[in-house]
Amino acid sequence: MVAEDGAADALCCVPAQGDGALDAAEAAVLAARFKALSDPNRLRLLSMVSSSADAEACVCDLSEPLDLGQPTVSHHLKILVDAGILHREKRGVWAYYSLVPGALEGLAATLTRKA
Amino acid sequence: MVAEDGAADALCCVPAQGDGALDAAEAAVLAARFKALSDPNRLRLLSMVSSSADAEACVCDLSEPLDLGQPTVSHHLKILVDAGILHREKRGVWAYYSLVPGALEGLAATLTRKA
């Protein structure tokens, strides 16, 4: 898993090789991010955050729509934070989540770079 | 896992809800595709196929660069085929792999739709 700090930087620094094929290190970074996206509940949480007003959502508003307990929701959100996809900010008693700028666009670009 | 036939269609038919949040069925389809991309060796195979001349690669040319046995490579390629990302065509004794047109672009679009 990619560490939270510097994860966005790591993605920015994964250039294509001259021939377009990924080397092992590049592939490991990208695979960790796609793994974070490989769970339906995490994708739904991500879409709820990104479609929220202000593109930010309180963990207190994310549990009910998925019919999951808050510990489970927090677990999934942590995986998305660790992968550098979501940003977490504690304000008062609640944690608020927003998209890390450029993270999803960076991943999308890797998919279409050579396609 | 998404079946090979119709997988591309399925992705084309996963519209955003009015509020941009994914429902459970949409999320399951997308998560299965991201799961296929969540392995470093599969990402490397995919990049090797997409950067090949003619955007097509013989399984016979994909084993050596990854230092994996051909059964392992074939296993990973099958997962990418089952996810609707790669197309497989048998010609003579070898299987040839190419990108399913639009599959990666469709996945990329889901990542940036609301970001």
CATH number at residue A99: 1.10.10.10
Q: Is there a domain that residue A81 lies in?
A: yes
pLDDT, block means (10 residues), chain A with 115 residues: 40 44 92 97 94 88 88 96 96 94 93 69
**Separation in Å, CA of B8 to nearest CA in chain A:** 15
Q: Report pLDDT for B1.
A: 38
* Residue linked to tokens 């001349």: B53
Contact predicate A98/A56, CB 8 Å: yes
CA-nearest residue to B51 within chain A is: A20
Of B31, B37, B114, Cβ closest to residue A40: B31
Say which residue, B53 or B114, is predicted with more confidence: B53
pLDDT tens-digit series, residues B1-21:
334 344 444 443 333 334 668
Total domains, chain A? 1
Average pLDDT over all residues of chain B:
83
Q: Report pLDDT for B8.
A: 40
Q: Is there a domain that residue B92 lies in?
A: yes
Residues 6+ apart with CB under 8 A from B113: B16, B20
Q: Is there a domain that residue B2 lies in?
A: no
The C-alpha torsion from B44 through A39 and A88 to A54, rounded to 10°, is 100
Of A27, A42, A47, Cβ closest to residue B114: A47
Q: Report pLDDT for B9.
A: 41
**Which residues of chain B have a CB within 8 Å of the CB of A27?**
40-41, 43-44, 47
Residues 6+ apart with CB under 8 A from B54: none
Helix, strand and coil percent figures for chain A, each rounded to 5: 55, 15, 30
Would you call A24 and B47 a contact, using CB atoms and an 8 Å cutoff? Answer: no
Q: Is there a domain that residue B102 lies in?
A: yes
Q: Is there a domain that residue B1 lies in?
A: no
Chain A residues contacting B via beta carbons under 8 Å: 19-24, 27-28, 30-32, 34-35, 37-44, 47-48, 50-51, 65, 99, 104-105, 107-109, 111-112, 114-115
Of A20, A44, A112, Cβ closest to residue B108: A112
Question: How confident is residue B92, by pLDDT bands cut at 50, 70 and 90?
Answer: very high
Which whole-number Å values give the CA distances from B9 to A28, A68, A115, in the listed order? 29, 30, 18
Total residue count of chain A as it appears in this document: 115
Q: Mean pLDDT across the stretch B38-54?
A: 93
Q: Is it the case that residue B23 has pLDDT exceeding 50?
A: yes
Q: Report pLDDT for B19.
A: 62
Q: Is there a domain that residue B49 lies in?
A: yes
Structural domain containing residue B90: 7-112
